[in-house]
């Protein structure tokens, strides 16, 4: 049954506002860059609805993000989301929650992204991965929006450590992983986004067939004066144990992604277009 937009509470803001002072101290102290893991960000009802509504991996609506540096699918068009998940995203993008994020992160003037550029629902099956990277630094369709904060909410009940998929946070010199977190249901990771906030899950998932790694990702920005920063596309990086051939392929694919990002911004393309191309190439391969 469709769920009315006001039928359930998504986040208990009174609870999180009461703790925001202590949480902000933990956030600022996070290493290798400001971050925090929150257990139970969503209400139990919101979590249950998100898990129940999350589209299956074989749903034709998914956009394919499959190239050398990642193997996942995503959905960014909010109007195509199941009603309950759409309500969750709208509440996490609403002024009340964004205001709480400002208190948590210490970043004033945050704005949410109704276009969900690069965000939305993400899903990876067995063999899926996302190489370590720092995210693109400006919105592709609002180049004066500087990306500042990531929020990832995981929806994986019964996830096992041996399946992999923990998100890793790496030092800016890429010499070691400084923190990691399993993608367990209702764990949320919030972190500052800048040119050296390296993160990812580079080892292919070892979950059983039919089990997937599911998440909702939202990105928050601050409007900046034109020319105040130089936008940069996603910066994928090799890990210390990667050989010369893998390092070269990571770099070459990064350059291809950069070229696509420039075309996407210049022509106003959506990820649907690239997803269709990548999906065809993946099936052909």
pLDDT confidence of residue 104:
98
- Could you count the other beta carbons within 10 Å of the beta carbon of residue 5? 12
Sign of CA dihedral 257, 255, 281, 69: negative
For residue 160, the model assigns a pLDDT of: 98
Looking at residue 229, what is its pLDDT? 75
pTM of the model: 0.91
Written as six digits, the tokens of 210 are 């039919």
**Is residue 258 included in any domain, yes or no?**
yes
Contact 34, 149 (CB under 8 A): no
Residue 213 belongs to a domain: yes
Asked if residue 224 is part of any domain, the answer here is: yes
Residue 8 lies in a domain: no
In a domain, 227, yes or no: yes
Q: Give 78's DSSP letter.
A: G
**Are the beta carbons of 224 and 144 closer than 8 angstroms?**
yes
pLDDT, residue 275, reads: 56
- Residue 207 lies inside a defined structural domain of this protein: yes
Domain of 275 in residue numbering reads as 13-284
Q: What is the CATH number of the domain that holds 110?
A: 2.60.120.620
> Which residues does the chain have with pLDDT short of 70?
1-6, 227, 264, 267-285
111 burial (CB, 10 Å; 0-12 / 13-18 / 19+) is: middle
At 255, is the secondary structure helix, strand, or coil? Answer: helix
Report if residue 232 sits inside a domain: yes
Contacts of 283 (CB under 8 A, 6+ apart): none
**Euclidean distance between CA atoms 143 and 240, whole angstroms:** 33
Q: For the chain, how many structural domains are there in total?
A: 1
- Say if 196 falls within a structural domain: yes
How do residues 103-146 score in pLDDT, each as one tens digit?
999 999 999 999 999 999 999 999 999 999 999 999 988 889 99
What is the tens place of the pLDDT at every residue in 146-161?
Answer: 999 999 999 999 999 9
pLDDT at 277: 52
């Amino acid at each position: 049954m469709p769920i009315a937009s006001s039928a359930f509470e998504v986040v208990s803001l009174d609870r999180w506002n009461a703790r925001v002072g202590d949480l902000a101290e933990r956030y600022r102290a996070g290493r290798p860059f400001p971050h925090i893991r929150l257990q139970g960000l969503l209400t139990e009802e919101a979590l249950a609805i998100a898990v129940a509504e999350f589209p299956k991996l074989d749903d034709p609506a998914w956009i394919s993000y499959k190239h050398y540096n990642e193997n996942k699918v995503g959905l960014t068009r909010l109007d195509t989301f199941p009603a309950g998940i759409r309500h969750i995203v709208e509440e996490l993008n609403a002024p009340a929650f964004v205001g709480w994020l400002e208190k948590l992160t210490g970043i004033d003037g945050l704005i949410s992204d109704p276009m969900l550029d690069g965000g939305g629902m993400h899903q990876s099956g067995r063999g899926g991965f996302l190489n370590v990277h720092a995210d693109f630094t400006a919105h592709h369709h609002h180049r004066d929006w500087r990306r500042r904060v990531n929020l990832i909410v995981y929806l994986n009940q019964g996830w096992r450590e041996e399946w992999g998929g923990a998100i890793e946070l790496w030092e800016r010199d890429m010499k070691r992983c400084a923190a990691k977190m399993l993608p367990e249901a209702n764990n949320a990771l919030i972190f500052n986004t800048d040119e050296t906030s390296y993160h990812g899950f580079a080892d292919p998932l070892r979950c059983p067939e039919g089990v997937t790694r599911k998440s909702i990702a939202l990105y928050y920005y601050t409007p900046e004066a034109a020319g105040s920063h130089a936008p940069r596309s996603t910066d994928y990086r090799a890990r210390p144990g990667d050989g010369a051939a893998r390092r070269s392929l990571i770099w070459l694919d990064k350059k291809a992604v950069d070229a696509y990002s420039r075309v996407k911004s210049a022509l106003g393309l959506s990820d649907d277009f690239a997803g269709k191309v990548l999906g065809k190439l993946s099936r052909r391969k």
